[in-house]
Structure 1
């Protein structure tokens, strides 16, 4: 994970990069030193089954799982698909420009956005069309129903025909001047397109972009643009029609999308997404505390301080463990019951840059140096 939060300021459709050194885990002489991890507790059997290599990753990568396969990309413009069981590449394509956001896929079509604000769509691994966008994009496109949906940094949402590239519609709403330079929320729930727009979780008609419901998760606060930033960050937990999300350094909340209301909300100071199961929700605070909340009402269940100041990834709930990566390439397995450490695995020493994912029986992680690792927990 990066040591600096990055923001983009958006005014009159123009995007200008603004970087603010605000991370609680930023490096520096006054920052607390992470505690020594000690020996691997080895209370959970985890074995390495394969390793692959891609280009270094310096954008907010989202690894897409489609069945037993994973689709991912490197910053140099390479997009590729792996068989998760063996690590064997299924296809590899170069889109011809550095990548800023990706990857979205439905198994046939895959989509990324380049740093030149170009949406590039592949069919079975071959580039079939490109479309110039009007704003920067940091969230992987959503591929669903033979459409490509794109969430722009200017808080626009657009839809394209996956086969032809024809723009079907675009909707935009005003918002605060700053947006996070990291993945936001763009997903499908049944026949509804769901997007995070500022501090709102918004349900949209995927056929024309009209708003079906709008739920405020967090309100703006403070007196300047940075203090007022309330973007919803990528990485959500979905159980049936309930979606749990994080508002950047403000709150975690669960939203009933059928009734369009917040079920519960808790103050929380984190910057990465959440994940959970039918009983608990798991999240990471900015200082590396790992928390579990009761899924029904948000009551705290446990807290682990063991991984503080390690710049953790968003969590993955897997088996009897919660899996997290850190800035030094370690993969940590904590007990879902009480947060105690179960196991730890090393990668290449560089930051784990995307939320770990599971495809079939294989846990897949990617590092900033482009290492792709397949593990199989017991």
Structure 2
């Protein structure tokens, strides 16, 4: 299988038909980043608290629920943490490594293990397990008394939140390769939005019936790897309009009530988006940061000073756009023009997932399991 030529791509491929890992790897000749830019000091932050969850080497993301933070480690630890103090609400050690998570609704939480099991947790105790027919790299969605799962064979499955009983499964055939990173699975009103290859689909959460599908990322290239296109986790939503990224292909904003694509712009990125009422923000695979006008998708600004630093997906926090990097640094950019306002360090290991906002605090998790909360000064 063709080896990817872009050294900064942090992904591998899965042969969905055989559920075997493909030989997609990045080049060791990673481009050298430029010197860190100076900061203007317009944002001042200080460390609020720290904690630890253990090594994170699989697609695990912190999630926020009513002022609490749900986190997990690859070796199998799951914790619910008070976002204000950093103290554990509960902590649980599972008997198997975790592949994807953490999804939750504030009461019930779910992760997916490397043995393809959905594990549901309540009050720090396992309440049920459900064996999946395929691997998943996407955190389960817990909503409406149900647990929804997106698997690598492009199936969406709904499970009863209390018992784990399967309610329905909906599948869409597609390319034999999928990304080994979190896909798109989110709620929107009475609709479930899922990424199926380069398509955004709206499903009835009660039955799995497809309400609409719209193409937002088209395949390209001459081989299976180059033609790979999937929607990635992390969307920017304003009302009924959601803006999504198709891996290494495009950024699109879609009217989720009707499934109409409002605009699409070429974009060579693999991380999710964030945005406000005026702009949508994203990171290219070379760590160039871009902003688009939400209305019409015209470019607003570009920041190239952080290129090749392995930036995470962005998060809006107060006046800043915050991104983590492979060196454990957090960069605070002006959402208005992309100027670098502040920079703080964690433990020197890569930031995993994306920064999350818990109350007034900004929280990040590192590859070695450090959990760092920052607050405005």
- The answer to whether TM tops 0.5 is yes
Q: 1:92 aligned to 2:98?
A: no
Structure 2 match to 1:203: 202
Which structure 2 residues correspond to residues 8-23 of structure 1 after superposition, within 5 A?
8-11=14-17, 14-22=18-26
Residue 33 and residue 2 in structure 1: after superposition, are their counterparts in 2 closer, same or farther (change >3 A)?
A: closer
Per the normalisation by structure 1, the TM-score is: 0.96
1:117–1:134 Cα contact (<8 Å) kept: yes
1:158–1:171 Cα contact (<8 Å) kept: yes
Q: 1:57 aligned to 2:56?
A: yes
2:53–2:71 Cα contact (<8 Å) kept: no
Give the Å deviation of 1:129: 0.5
Per the normalisation by structure 2, the TM-score is: 0.96
Give the Å deviation of 1:356: 0.4
Give the Å deviation of 1:40: 4.8
Length, aligned pairs only: 371
Which structure 2 residues correspond to residues 86-165 of structure 1 after superposition, within 5 A?
86-165=85-164
Which structure 2 residues correspond to residues 1-378 of structure 1 after superposition, within 5 A?
4-11=10-17, 14-22=18-26, 27-28=28-29, 31-37=30-36, 40-378=39-377
Q: Secondary structure at the match of 2:354?
A: coil
1:281–1:294 Cα contact (<8 Å) kept: yes
CA deviation vs aligned residue, 1:183-213 (integer Å, no higher than 9, x gap): 0100100000110010000000001101011
Tell me the distance in 2 between the aligned counterparts of 1:195 and 1:3.
23
Q: Give structure 1 stretches of 5+ with no counterpart.
A: none
1:99–1:115 Cα contact (<8 Å) kept: yes
Tell me the distance in 2 between the aligned counterparts of 1:15 and 1:234.
21
1:186–1:196 Cα contact (<8 Å) kept: yes
CA deviation vs aligned residue, 1:222-257 (integer Å, no higher than 9, x gap): 232111111001111011100000000000000001
Tell me the distance in 1 between the aligned counterparts of 2:353 and 2:69.
13
Q: Secondary structure at the match of 2:51?
A: strand
Residue 102 and residue 19 in structure 1: after superposition, are their counterparts in 2 closer, same or farther (change >3 A)?
A: farther
Give the Å deviation of 1:258: 1.2
Q: Secondary structure at the match of 1:234?
A: coil
2:55–2:368 Cα contact (<8 Å) kept: yes
2:37–2:340 Cα contact (<8 Å) kept: no
Tell me the distance in 1 between the aligned counterparts of 2:224 and 2:38.
44
2:236–2:243 Cα contact (<8 Å) kept: yes
Give the Å deviation of 1:259: 2.1
Tell me the distance in 2 between the aligned counterparts of 1:269 and 1:39.
26
Indicate the larger mover: 232-241 or 214-223: 214-223
Q: Secondary structure at the match of 1:233?
A: coil
CA deviation vs aligned residue, 1:312-360 (integer Å, no higher than 9, x gap): 0000011111000000000000000100000000000000011100011
1:84–1:362 Cα contact (<8 Å) kept: yes
Give the Å deviation of 1:39: 5.2
Give the Å deviation of 1:21: 2.4
**RMSD (Å), alpha carbons:** 1.3
1:52–1:87 Cα contact (<8 Å) kept: yes
2:198–2:230 Cα contact (<8 Å) kept: yes
Tell me the distance in 2 between the aligned counterparts of 1:322 and 1:27.
30
Tell me the distance in 2 between the aligned counterparts of 1:39 and 1:189.
40
Tell me the distance in 1 between the aligned counterparts of 2:76 and 2:255.
38
Q: Give structure 2 stretches of 5+ with no counterpart.
A: 1-6
